[in-house]
Structure 1
Amino acid sequence: MQAVHTLFVTGYRSFELGVFQETDPKIKVIKKVIKTTLEQYLEEGLQWVIIGGNLGVEIWTAQLIDELKEEYPELKFSIIYPYLEFGDNWNEANQAMLQKIVEKADYVDAVSHLSYKDPSQLKNHTHFLLTHVDGAIVVYDDEFSGKSTYFVHDAREYAEKHNFLLHLITMDDLQNAVFDDSV
């Protein structure tokens, strides 16, 4: 396994999984699989976990950070938004959830220092991440497309030419975790 010090974690948005409440049991399964995956990389020297701030997998990953830092106090956590004012149009509950994770972050910034203007900001965000991290963990399955399709496509292309790890957590991985007694 290549040395991985910085990982971007992304995947399905909550609405793509039909998750509309933080008490949905799907979240527990997803968090368990992400935590187990991150622990493997932490044992190998992972230092930074980065998210983009999206609702769903990214927020759930951020919620795990305190738990992970108990065993791995050296772990750092960053939010790199695609543009300024990201999440400002979300409802109050989602904005409060985002604010909680911002308070836990070791570093917060945006690739574009402008408010949302056009899709090129999202493309630039992907390019920035691919060129500044060692790899990505993506909760994504090719059979169930979603907004992460674009990132996965670009990451696969990038990985063909660069030393870049793309670790997909598929629906089968999540399903297998459901049948694991420790969920």
Structure 2
Amino acid sequence: MRLLLSGYRSYELSIFNDQDPKIKVIKYSLQQELLQLLSNGLEWVITGGQLGVEQWGAQVVLELKKEYPELKLGLMFPFADFGENWQENSQEKLFSLKQQADFLGTVSQMPYSNPQQLRNYQDFMLNHTDEALLVYDSQYPGKCEYLYRDILKKTDYRLSLIDMDQLQDQAQVYFESKNSWHFE
């Protein structure tokens, strides 16, 4: 099974540094979903490397690969110069993910020139994956809204969502497990 993983960009969630506790909750939520999908035949997680859910998801996959070496990470970019205009710190994070991915590719071999490249990218991703996992809530639209709408139009394509209510529930579970007292 090939899974498309996407969701909010970091700024859409008001996350502006790597120490924000919301990242831990999102990663924990993604990990729980991916573990469940692994038991159902998940082989590939394919994502685009955008700052936010896509990169955090890639990091979770890399952690899971330690215990599930059969799991593969694919990074697909919409155009050739993807991420080159980002701040240096963000470029370094993307470079690190590129170095660790099992597959790396671009849909357009040209540098960014027009929005059609993004549309072609989205179509490519939907046509080369079997299902999607999105951290997305339709009550809080973001850049992922276009992908979400196109997924809903597809038949025989499964969509799993982690919405804001689920994130809130997972936050409670995550922080309770980290703060629980253990007596011996």
The TM-score range, normalised by the shorter chain, is: over 0.9
Query: Once the 2 structures are TM-superposed, how far is the Cα of residue 63 of structure 1 from its aligned partner?
Result: 1.1
2:65 matches 1:69: yes
- Counterparts of 1:179 and 1:23, CA distance in 2: 18
Aligned counterpart, 1:104:
100
Which of 155, 162, 165 is the matching residue for 2:158? 165
Deviations 1:46-95 (A, max 9, x none): 00001111000000011112220122110010100011110000000000
**Which entry has the higher C-alpha Rg, 1 or 2?**
2
Query: Once the 2 structures are TM-superposed, how far is the Cα of residue 179 of structure 1 from its aligned partner?
Result: 1.2
Q: State TM-score, norm by structure 1.
A: 0.94
Aligned counterpart, 2:11:
15
- Counterparts of 1:28 and 1:107, CA distance in 2: 26
Which of 71, 85, 90 is the matching residue for 1:89? 85
Q: Classify the secondary structure of the residue corresponding to 1:80.
A: strand
- In structure 1, list runs of 5 or more residues that go unmatched: none
Query: Once the 2 structures are TM-superposed, how far is the Cα of residue 164 of structure 1 from its aligned partner?
Result: 0.6
- Counterparts of 1:66 and 1:168, CA distance in 2: 21
Alignment of 1:131-146 (within 5 A): 131-146=127-142
Aligned counterpart, 1:178:
171
Q: Classify the secondary structure of the residue corresponding to 1:108.
A: strand
- Counterparts of 2:168 and 2:72, CA distance in 1: 29
Q: State TM-score, norm by structure 2.
A: 0.94
> Is residue 134–residue 162 contact of structure 2 (8 Å, CA) maintained in 1?
yes
Q: Figure out how many residues of one structure are paired with residues of the other and give that number.
A: 176
- Counterparts of 1:176 and 1:114, CA distance in 2: 42
- Counterparts of 2:44 and 2:27, CA distance in 1: 18
- Counterparts of 1:135 and 1:104, CA distance in 2: 23
**Percent identity over paired residues:** 45
The alignment's C-alpha RMSD in Å is 0.8
Query: Once the 2 structures are TM-superposed, how far is the Cα of residue 131 of structure 1 from its aligned partner?
Result: 0.8
- Counterparts of 1:76 and 1:179, CA distance in 2: 30
Which of 152, 174, 180 is the matching residue for 1:156? 152
